[in-house]
Structure 1
Amino acid sequence: MASPPGNGRDGIRPPVRRRSLLLGAAALGGLGALGAAGCTRVAPAAGTRGGELLDRLRAQGVVRLGIAGEVPFGYIDRQGRLTGEAPELARVIFKRLGVDQVQPVPTEFGSLIPGLNSQQFDVVAAGMYVNAERCAQVIFADPDYQMLDSFVVRKGNPKGLRSYKDVVAKKARFATGTGYAQIQHAVDAGYKESDILIVPDQVAGLNAVEAGRVDVFAGTAVTVRQVVRKSAKTEAIEPFAPVVKGQRQIDGGAFAFRPGETRLRDAFNTELHKLKKSGELLRILRPFGFTKDEMTDLTAKELCGR
């Protein structure tokens, strides 16, 4: 969705599980020792008003981050280091909150919310889009970025595909990633869901376009920008806002917390807004392909209410 990449900004090819509309449980994935360590369950929150997780994290000195292995949102790089826009932002904010270390817990994107609510990790740090369905299950910080959609198409965009309506009208062969929000965007435009080619990640989507198996692959603007960088056969179209229920929709990605942990969410929001005001947020996110266009004043409250 929300961006990120193909051969990623560093030529990395992690599996992508986009800001899924799927909230079903899937098995938590491991990534070596990091994954094994990350799967340790945290103690459940007590009944204290606003939750006790913030106090526990300060005492432990470490916060477990649920990530989905997607460039540039949250992934493990070639050196085995946790990075991405959300983990790097988490490092800054949690340090300000008195928590010095972050630890990754890799999983499928569709397992992030179930994993969070079953105590597998403390917070979702995967650039997850905020929507009403998810807001019924978790609480979100305010978005740290906003995002438009884009397409990977053949050089010259021979079919002239610049929107989901174009894809439908021109009967283009359409692909997107597992659990991507772009599935629903295409369906809302009238594309038959059973005709969508679902691929594991943006690299597979790029390959499908290059090989001529599909005419277009849809993802977030930053994902598409990244994935076509080394491709001589494809290009990214201009980012656009999908039309959902008759209205242009700009999505926003944010950190997610268990419903009872309002103290932690509110403390996180306080520091996030300081970073936005100072301009430091853009500095943190810029290395991952984010620009001023992705900075936002959207709030979780307004996105949850859509």
Structure 2
Amino acid sequence: MREETETVDRRSYLKLSGITGLAATGFAGCLEDAGNGDDEGNQSDGATGENEIIAGTAPGFPPFEMKEGGDLVGFDIDHLEAVVDETDYELTGWKEFEFGSLIQSLNSGEIDVIAAAMTINDERKEKLAFTDPYYSANQSVLVQTGGDFEPSSLDDLAGRDLGAQSGTTGESIIEDEVDDANYRSFENYVYAVQELERGTLEAIVIDQPVAETFAANRDVEIAFTFETGEKYGLGVRQDDDGLREALNEGIAAVEESGEYEEITQEWFGE
């Protein structure tokens, strides 16, 4: 797992991402690390009561999870809080990690649930249990706006300077499906997009909804999108059947009530 990540304040984050007013933008994501703060920036040592839980996420994946004005915000934040409200559990706080540290932090007991646009796959199922899916997404390839490189398929990425966030589906696709790529891994997609704008990268592979958010706010554009069949789930420890079942019921209740649609509209304009 990766080392503890630094918190980026609103001014620094927005300077890097160019994203403001994200509550009015699009919808998205997919992910696979660790600060120890709740949403007020205080230290927290995990859930103490029988039905109290602490959530973990990985900011820097707009509009799913990011820091804004020192606060943790995004689709996953609002969605999980709505889901837990439908259960007998109480969400007592959030902790922020680099993406690659989330599963370790879950299994060590630092947190009780992962809400970080995490793709359900067989490899992760060996380390944690997923809830029912709550979102589906494809992958997009980002390039510089008006640049010379205009790929239309994964084959066009062969031998190119590519970037993705460590532990994500984008990274796996580059490593498994692109020949001879000069690949760079980033702890956060914000920094990858910054390098793409500077011209040190030729393309980034990233979740479609997140790509759309960056394309709307930075000097980058989507070259093409391809289907992956990805689905995102909340992650819990493999022996925590009670919490997993409760979250599944909460996910269904939020969808049936129409609140899911409201949260989607707020963050993705869908």
Q: Give me the TM-score of the superposition, normalised by structure 1.
A: 0.72
Identify which of 2, 11, 36 aligns with 1:30. Answer: 36
1:181 maps to what in 2?
169
Measured after TM superposition, the shift of residue 178 of structure 1 is: 2.5
Cα distance in structure 2, aligned partners of 1:67 and 1:287 = 20
Identify which of 211, 214, 224 aligns with 2:201. Answer: 214
Identify which of 16, 21, 25 aligns with 1:10. Answer: 21
Cα distance in structure 2, aligned partners of 1:117 and 1:266 = 18
Measured after TM superposition, the shift of residue 33 of structure 1 is: 8.1
Cα distance in structure 2, aligned partners of 1:158 and 1:221 = 22
List runs of 5+ in structure 1 lacking aligned partners.
13-17, 21-25, 44-54, 242-248, 292-306
Check if 1:75 corresponds to 2:51.
Answer: no
| Residues matched between the structures, number | 248
Q: Tell me if structure 2 keeps the 8 A contact 1:116–1:123.
A: yes
2:140 maps to what in 1?
150
Question: What one-letter code is carried by the residue in structure 1 that aligns with 2:31?
Answer: R
Check if 1:56 corresponds to 2:50.
Answer: yes
Q: Tell me if structure 1 keeps the 8 A contact 2:153–2:224.
A: no
Identical aligned residues as a percent: 21
2:211 maps to what in 1?
224
Check if 1:90 corresponds to 2:83.
Answer: no
Identify which of 211, 214, 234 aligns with 2:220. Answer: 234
Q: Tell me if structure 1 keeps the 8 A contact 2:214–2:220.
A: no
Deviations 1:232-267 (A, max 9, x none): x421234322xxxxxxx2211111011111121112
Cα distance in structure 2, aligned partners of 1:75 and 1:211 = 22
Rate the CA distance shift 1:157–1:146 in 2: closer, same or farther, 3 A: farther
Measured after TM superposition, the shift of residue 162 of structure 1 is: 2.7
Measured after TM superposition, the shift of residue 222 of structure 1 is: 1.3
Rate the CA distance shift 1:230–1:82 in 2: closer, same or farther, 3 A: closer
Rate the CA distance shift 1:179–1:72 in 2: closer, same or farther, 3 A: same
Identify which of 6, 13, 31 aligns with 1:19. Answer: 31
Cα distance in structure 2, aligned partners of 1:281 and 1:92 = 9
Q: Give me the TM-score of the superposition, normalised by structure 2.
A: 0.81
Check if 1:138 corresponds to 2:124.
Answer: no
Q: Which moved more, 1:97-106 or 1:121-130?
A: 97-106
Deviations 1:29-56 (A, max 9, x none): 2348845533x0446xxxxxxxxxxx81
Cα distance in structure 2, aligned partners of 1:253 and 1:240 = 17
Cα distance in structure 2, aligned partners of 1:147 and 1:6 = 21
SS at match of 1:237: strand
Rate the CA distance shift 1:32–1:89 in 2: closer, same or farther, 3 A: closer
Q: Tell me if structure 2 keeps the 8 A contact 1:9–1:288.
A: no
Identify which of 139, 152, 156 aligns with 1:162. Answer: 152
Question: What one-letter code is carried by the residue in structure 2 that aligns with 1:180?
Answer: T
Measured after TM superposition, the shift of residue 116 of structure 1 is: 0.6
Deviations 1:34-87 (A, max 9, x none): 45533x0446xxxxxxxxxxx812xxxx43111111322233321x33322122
Measured after TM superposition, the shift of residue 230 of structure 1 is: 2.8
Identify which of 268, 275, 294 aligns with 2:247. Answer: 268
Measured after TM superposition, the shift of residue 98 of structure 1 is: 3.1
List runs of 5+ in structure 2 lacking aligned partners.
1-15, 24-29
Tell which structure's C-alpha radius of gyration is larger: 1
Cα distance in structure 2, aligned partners of 1:42 and 1:275 = 24
Cα distance in structure 2, aligned partners of 1:64 and 1:198 = 29
Rate the CA distance shift 1:11–1:277 in 2: closer, same or farther, 3 A: closer
Q: Tell me if structure 1 keeps the 8 A contact 2:47–2:92.
A: no
Runs of 4+ off more than 6 Å: none
